[in-house]
């Protein structure tokens, strides 16, 4: 912190203490990229406000440390460069003295190398993340917006964080895309590209990226929109917001998470909205005026709805509707109404929640790619939550009918280097092969286990069951799973192990789950296959690159 700034602040605080006012104002002329803030979870949240030229620019809650900070957070203030930002704080202002501006984030030099930072899953630099929002491909870039609290590692101040990537594996975190405003905080939503300028926001030949999201505030949740004509770097909120206010109709505050897509056969936009007990369909020609059409009960939060070919045959398709818990129905859709034909099913469980699929993936690619939020934390870290690996969703015919499968996208392959492959190993031999990897913090292990004279078997690490297959009750890590071949004594698992998590894909993606790794574990036995007389029919071990190097 420079001395002049310190002196100004001290004078400022002195003035206030002399007249015994709790709140303090701190003017800072912005010359650098970031403001860094000291945080302590044991402090109460209090309101902080940025005012620029007499205009309220940002209001949020923050737990400013009044003593030794537990960790630091930052806010990108480059858009205020050259201007004076006056910071006011309604809490204990002892910490105001420690706020400083810099071109570096506090702790930047060890960024992505911190002890418990996942090495091949996206996490935010600082703060909290939950749902992926507005997943979209546009002009060579994949965009991932997400529910974000930049000011604390817990849920609060919901904003849209933003990261961009060329391959959905290596991400660059960008400035916050949508900040809370007087109308409320920015809840989940989706993004489209308005190629035909139906909303009138396009700039010359540049089509607008239009995001539709929920605003939570004033005792209700309404749907609003914003647009960007600079590849998602900055957004302008539409002056005619909100677009949908359905609180009274549903007698509920729970109306949220608009999922918008273009319905080509009917040449109109579709918005799927979670309203109370399920997902409603709305239609529009201009992304602004929405008309209610229908409702499917049985879902909660974060809708998605998309068409997929069955067994890769584009002439045979079905629609999939799902909600935040990753349960889904399969059915048909005519642009106005989803008609369920089977379900509800689930294909994924564990830490996954609020997953969303990408829009605007080129037709030549044609994949339906999903990213889910992993509800897990990273001990001692200044950030929380994680995004799971992007997966490709497909519909396959199984003995039970058509079902969703998910597998990590092919772009993940660049991360893995195969160090060995073996077949027909006894359990002890397989454990021996894994031994040298007990000290690595990330690994991919693919294995096919054959159970003979065993009703259960699995793979553990330091006593934590990554895979626990109970063949008599047909449970995989506690959830019902029946293999395609009912009397099969085999299970195949592809484990993606990172510092704080494990993602497990069973039988080529028929079922998947993710879990928080219990670092430390119950013992020190390392990787261990277990089960009476089992055979590891196939074992593949892969080293994993970091995405941050």
| Residue ranges that bind ligand FRU, judged by CB under 6 A | 130-131, 147, 158, 187-188, 214, 256-257, 301-302, 324, 353-354
- The DSSP code for 206 is B
Q: How far is CA 381 from CA 147, 288, 538, in A?
A: 18, 41, 37
State in angstroms the smallest separation of the CB of 189 from ligand FRU: 8
Rounded to 5 degrees, what are φ and ψ at 523? -150, -170
State in angstroms the smallest separation of the CB of 130 from ligand FRU: 5
Which position has the token pair 């004509």? 229
- Asked whether 506 and 399 are in contact (CB, 8 A), the reply is no
Question: Choosing from 92, 102, 103, 131, which is the catalytic residue?
Answer: 131
CA pair distance 541, 210, nearest whole angstrom:
43
Which residue in 253, 178, 252, 174 sits closest to 220, CA to CA? 253
Find out whether the peptide bond into 242 is cis, omega within 30 degrees of 0. yes
Cβ neighbours around 257 below 10 Å, total: 30
Which residue, 16 or 155, is less far from ligand FRU as judged by CB? 155
State in angstroms the smallest separation of the CB of 187 from ligand FRU: 3
Which residue, 63 or 256, is less far from ligand FRU as judged by CB? 256
State in angstroms the smallest separation of the CB of 151 from ligand FRU: 15
State in angstroms the smallest separation of the CB of 214 from ligand FRU: 5
- Asked whether 227 and 201 are in contact (CB, 8 A), the reply is yes
Residues 6+ apart with CB under 8 A from 205: none
State in angstroms the smallest separation of the CB of 154 from ligand FRU: 12
In the residue annotation, 131 being an active-site residue is answered as yes
Q: How far is CA 69 from CA 76, 153, 295, 381, in A?
A: 20, 13, 49, 13
Which residue, 126 or 256, is less far from ligand FRU as judged by CB? 256
Which residue in 339, 247, 356 sits closest to 293, CA to CA? 339
Which residue, 102 or 277, is less far from ligand FRU as judged by CB? 277
Which residue, 101 or 185, is less far from ligand FRU as judged by CB? 185
- The DSSP code for 13 is H
Which residue, 188 or 327, is less far from ligand FRU as judged by CB? 188
Active site residues: 131
């Amino acid at each position: 912190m420079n001395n002049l700034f310190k002196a100004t602040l001290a004078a400022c605080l002195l003035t206030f203490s002399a007249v015994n006012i709790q709140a303090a104002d701190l003017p800072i002329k912005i010359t650098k990229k970031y403001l860094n803030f000291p945080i302590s979870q044991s402090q109460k949240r209090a309101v902080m406000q940025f005012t620029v030229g007499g205009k309220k620019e940002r209001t949020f809650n923050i737990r400013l440390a009044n003593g030794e900070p537990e960790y630091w957070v930052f806010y990108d203030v480059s858009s205020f460069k050259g201007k004076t930002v006056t910071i006011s704080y309604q809490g204990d202002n002892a910490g105001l003295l420690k706020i400083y501006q810099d071109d570096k984030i506090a702790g930047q030099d060890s960024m992505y190398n911190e002890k418990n930072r996942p090495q091949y899953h996206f996490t935010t630099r600082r703060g909290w993340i939950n749902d992926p929002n507005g997943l979209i491909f546009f002009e060579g870039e994949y965009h991932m917006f997400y529910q974000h609290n930049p000011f604390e590692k817990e849920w609060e101040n919901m904003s849209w964080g933003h990261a961009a990537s060329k391959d959905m594996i290596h991400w660059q975190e960008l400035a916050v895309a949508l900040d809370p405003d007087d109308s409320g905080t920015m809840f989940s939503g989706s993004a489209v590209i308005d190629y035909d300028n139906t909303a009138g926001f396009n700039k010359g030949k540049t089509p607008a990226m239009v995001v539709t999201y929920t605003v939570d505030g004033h005792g209700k949740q309404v749907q609003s929109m914003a647009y960007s004509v600079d590849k998602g770097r900055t957004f302008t909120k539409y002056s005619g917001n909100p677009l949908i206010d359905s609180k009274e109709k549903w007698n509920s505050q729970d109306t949220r998470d608009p999922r918008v897509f273009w319905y080509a056969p009917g040449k109109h936009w579709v918005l799927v909205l979670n309203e109370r007990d399920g997902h409603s369909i709305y239609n529009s020609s201009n992304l602004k005026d929405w008309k209610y059409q229908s409702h499917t009960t049985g879902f909660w939060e974060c809708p998605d709805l998309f068409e997929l070919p069955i067994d890769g045959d584009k002439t045979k398709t079905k629609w999939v509707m799902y909600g935040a818990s990753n349960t889904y129905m399969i059915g048909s859709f005519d642009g106005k109404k989803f008609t369920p034909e089977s379900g509800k099913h689930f294909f994924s469980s564990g830490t996954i929640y609020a997953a969303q699929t990408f829009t605007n993936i080129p037709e030549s690619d044609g994949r339906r790619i999903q990213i889910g939020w992993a509800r897990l934390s990273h001990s001692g870290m200044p950030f929380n939550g994680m995004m799971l690996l992007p997966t490709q969703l497909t519909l396959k015919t199984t003995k039970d009918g058509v079902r969703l499968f998910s597998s990590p996208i092919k772009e993940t392959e660049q991360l893995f280097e195969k160090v060995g492959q073996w077949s027909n190993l006894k359990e002890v031999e397989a454990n021996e092969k894994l031994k040298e990897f007990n000290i690595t913090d990330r690994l991919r292990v693919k294995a096919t286990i054959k159970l003979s004279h065993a009703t259960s078997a699995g793979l553990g690490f330091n006593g934590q069951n990554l895979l626990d297959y109970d063949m008599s009750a047909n449970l995989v890590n506690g959830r019902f799973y029946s293999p395609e071949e009912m009397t099969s004594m085999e299970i195949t698992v592809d484990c993606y192990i990172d510092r704080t998590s494990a993602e497990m894909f069973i039988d080529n993606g028929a079922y998947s789950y993710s879990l928080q790794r219990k670092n430390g574990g119950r013992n020190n036995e390392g990787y261990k296959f277990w089960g009476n007389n089992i055979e590891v029919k196939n074992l593949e071990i892969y080293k994993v690159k970091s995405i941050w190097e």
